[in-house]
Every structure is written in C-alpha cells, then in structure tokens.
C-alpha cells in the first residue's frame, strides 16, 4: 500500500542534503507528470497516482527505507490521525536522525548541516524548479531537526 507515503507530519519527511539531491535527480525527469498529490493532497509526489508505486525507489531516503507496517488498516488509520499499532519507523532511522543532530552540533560555526522537507523537495522537482530553487524552498529552518529529534524520541518511547 502507499499510506505510509502520505507525509502529514510537520516536517514533510526529514531528509539530508545528499538525499534531497538524489531525490531531485530521480524526480526532475518526471517534470509536469501527474504525481502522488493527484491521489492524496499530502501524498509524496514520487508516487505514481495510478499504481501508487514509488517512481524514485532506488533514490528513496532513509525515512522511506525504514518505515514498516504489518497492517494496511493501521497505516490508513494513522493517515487519518487515528491511533493505530503495527506501523512506524525502525530504530535505525532514529539513530540516523540523532547522528545528523550530532554532526550539526560538531560542525556548528564551521559548516551548516541542513535538513529538507521530502514533500516540498519532491514537489519542487516534479513542478520543474531548478535544483538550487528546490533546495532553497525545501530547506528546513534550523530548529526543525531539533523538533524532529524530539518527535523521534517520543515515537521510540511509545514503541517500548
């Protein structure tokens, strides 16, 4: 199913700069094609609206690779904001986010370690924006990674 590809979270799906660039490369060739937003307004634009298959599967970011579900019904409920069990992200995703946060802290003052919205980046790529424009428009504020790390910690607490 593709319910996990409905990006309703505040962050739009947190991805790194290299992931954003790879997704852009995979999706920019689909410029102006119908996309996942034709199926559901917050669906990832990389979805084919007819088959609901990911058209950027090989380039998909860690968040997509680490989301699992044992129940289609649970995913459908979650997209409606209803409580559900049987779906969520694997622990390595949370470690990945934490490592990104550590990188940001270690490089503070020397290099900006940015995060991006998967939903916005994919939208920009398919809508025909240049890479530079897509990155600029999808870049998170500096506080978004901290907010996502906090949400990640809450997710891990609920999973225990």
Q: Look over the chain and give the mean of its residue pLDDT values, rounded to a whole number.
A: 87
Check whether 70 has a pLDDT greater than 80.
Answer: no
Bigger pLDDT: 35 or 2? 35
Element (H, E) at 18: helix 17-27
Q: Would you tell me how many other CB atoms lie within 10 Å of the CB of residue 32?
A: 8
Give the pLDDT mean for 41-60.
91
Question: How much is the pTM?
Answer: 0.85
Residue 25 has pLDDT above 70, yes or no: yes
The residue among 105, 140, 104 whose CA lies nearest residue 121 is: 140
Confidence of residue 159 (pLDDT cuts 50, 70, 90): low
Nearest-angstrom CA–CA distance, 98 and 103: 9
Q: What pLDDT is stored for residue 75 in this prediction? A: 67
> What's phi and psi for 115, nearest 5 deg?
-125, 160
Does position 3 have pLDDT exceeding 80, yes or no?
no
Average pLDDT over residues 36-48: 90
Closest of 100, 78, 112, 92 to residue 146, by C-alpha? 100
Q: Does residue 109 surpass a pLDDT of 70?
A: yes
């Amino acid at each position: 199913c593709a319910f996990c590809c409905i990006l309703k979270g505040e962050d739009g799906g947190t991805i790194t700069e290299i992931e954003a660039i790879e997704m852009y490369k995979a999706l920019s060739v689909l410029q102006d094609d119908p996309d996942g937003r034709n199926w559901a307004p917050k669906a990832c634009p990389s979805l084919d609206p007819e088959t609901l298959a990911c058209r950027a599967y090989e380039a998909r970011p860690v968040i997509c690779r680490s989301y699992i579900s044992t129940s289609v019904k649970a995913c459908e409920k979650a997209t409606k904001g209803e409580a559900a069990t049987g779906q969520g992200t694997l622990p390595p995703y949370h470690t990945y986010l934490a490592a990104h946060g550590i990188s940001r802290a270690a490089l503070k003052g020397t290099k900006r370690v940015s995060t991006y919205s998967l939903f916005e980046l994919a939208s920009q790529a398919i809508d025909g924006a240049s890479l530079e424009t897509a990155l600029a428009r999808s870049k998170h504020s500096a506080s978004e990674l901290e907010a996502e790390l906090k949400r990640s910690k809450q997710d891990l607490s609920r999973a225990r």
